[in-house]
Amino acid sequence: MSSHRLAVSLAIALISTFAFSAGSALAQTTVTSERPASFTLDNGLQVVVIPDHRTPVVTQMIWYKVGSADETPGKSGLAHFLEHLMFKGTAKHPAGEFSQTVLRIGGNENAFTSLDYTGYFQRVPREQLAKMMEFEADRMTGLILKDENVLPERDVVLEEFNMRVANNPDARLTEQIMAALYLNHPYGRPVIGWRQEIEKLDREDALAFYKRFYAPNNAILVIAGDVDTKEVRAMVEKAYGGIPAQPAIPARRIRPQEPVPAAPRTVTLSDPRVEQTSLRRYYLVPSSTTAAAGEGPALDVLAQLMGGGSNSYLYRALVIDRQLATSAGAGYQGTALDPSQFSISVSPKPGVEFSQIEQAIDGVIAEVIQNPARAEDLERVKTQLIAEAIYAQDNQATLARWYGGALTTGLSIDDIRSWPDRIRAVTAEQVRDAAQKWLDKKRSVTGYLIKDTTAKREEKRS
């Protein structure tokens, strides 16, 4: 495995974690003094330019509106597999040339795959932007794949599966919870895929997926940095303007949807490597894209009230007051094209039963539903959410990621920019209503991670 691909693999793990555990504050919010420019080429490529003149650096990030939830059934892991293969070179630029060029000019690059999108980015000195565009535009249509580099890369993905999932009990629990939460929707498939299906992916699968989804009318190009919009437009037209659209790509992605949840589900995963037992509960809730007006921000505020830090209701109840747990938190993943998740996670103290933890969680939820949040609590968590978003704007790549993640999952630039105002407008009644409507046990899967001690007992007997 090359050092580049190892870096990409590790970053996928980090970005996947970010994408599915961070609250919407980080996933969708930004307030820049200058509104990003946006335009669309004749071939359908949407371009967003985010000015940031603090340093002479620019980030090019191209987002394809295709993720693991868009894969053909039976071909799980294909979106992520293709992301690996996009570094294998084209007729114009053989394998390694793009990455070596980025390194030589002092830049950095990476790639990531999620449920709803796949992205590639480079952060380079501003005078190198046109060259980066030429490389990225070339691999939108010019990818060349041969069995001699496809099959070894499949082995790399399988090794990544071993590292990130098979040898990670916590990740395996998340995988099983998601599979139980989504009975019908493809969000129940892991981004990296199921092992027995990854093993069968081949060159033809990858090329067919590439030709089907990688096209300008299925992409968003985000340029963040020390750039002038007019200059960027001319560069984009030159690099990407000649690429033909793919007319077979539908304007909207239609996926199988979940039936109305009828019963709570539980998952228990036991593993000899578990050192800390944990309980995790996921609720099926609307994403920012599918929520009714005001519901997304209310879920953001609810998650922060219940599980955002040491002043949160769950932490106070389980860790401080009753001393049942060493940690407790909650999160809402708003950035998704289809219904998403509200999660609660708790690490019990040794000897504490899961039933005690669940009783305490249910008590906190009941309290939120029965008694509207106090004004000072509401003000505190709103301030936290908005401040977190404002402080995080110091990272140029994060700015590009906010916009790309939101736009590829159905939100608009106005939605992104107005997020703090919508957080400020959330009322205690809206928070209570969100808890009552969406934190219904019937909408949940509760996962238990426990230590498997049977192996040790068997060893002793033998």
Cα angle: 246, vertex 249, 255; to 5 degrees:
160
Q: How far apart are the first and last CA of the chain?
A: 40
For 301, phi then psi, to 5°, come to -65, -40
Q: Is 83 a catalytic site residue?
A: yes
- Nearest of 2, 3, 13, 24 to residue 303 by alpha carbon: 24
Query: Do residues 117 and 409 lie in contact, with contact meaning Cβ atoms separated by under 8 Å?
Result: yes
Query: Do residues 241 and 43 lie in contact, with contact meaning Cβ atoms separated by under 8 Å?
Result: yes
Query: Do residues 289 and 337 lie in contact, with contact meaning Cβ atoms separated by under 8 Å?
Result: yes
Q: Which two three-digit tokens encode residue 111?
A: 């790639």
- Nearest of 340, 337, 338, 319 to residue 328 by alpha carbon: 319
Given the structure tokens 């519901």, which residue do they identify? 295
- Nearest of 279, 277, 271, 267 to residue 355 by alpha carbon: 279
Q: Residue 42, exposed/middle/buried by CB under 10 A (0-12, 13-18, 19+)? A: exposed
Q: Which two three-digit tokens encode residue 151?
A: 């099959």
Q: Residue 161, exposed/middle/buried by CB under 10 A (0-12, 13-18, 19+)? A: buried
Selecting among 34, 71, 83, 136, the annotated active-site residue is: 83
| Measured distance CA(221)–CA(62) in Å, rounded | 4
Q: b/e map of 307-317 (b: 16 or more CB within 10 Å)?
A: bbeeebbbbeb
Cα angle: 442, vertex 444, 448; to 5 degrees:
130
The angle that helices 428-438 and 375-391 make with each other, rounded to 10 degrees, is 90
Cβ count within 10 A of residue 61: 26
Residues carrying an active site annotation:
83
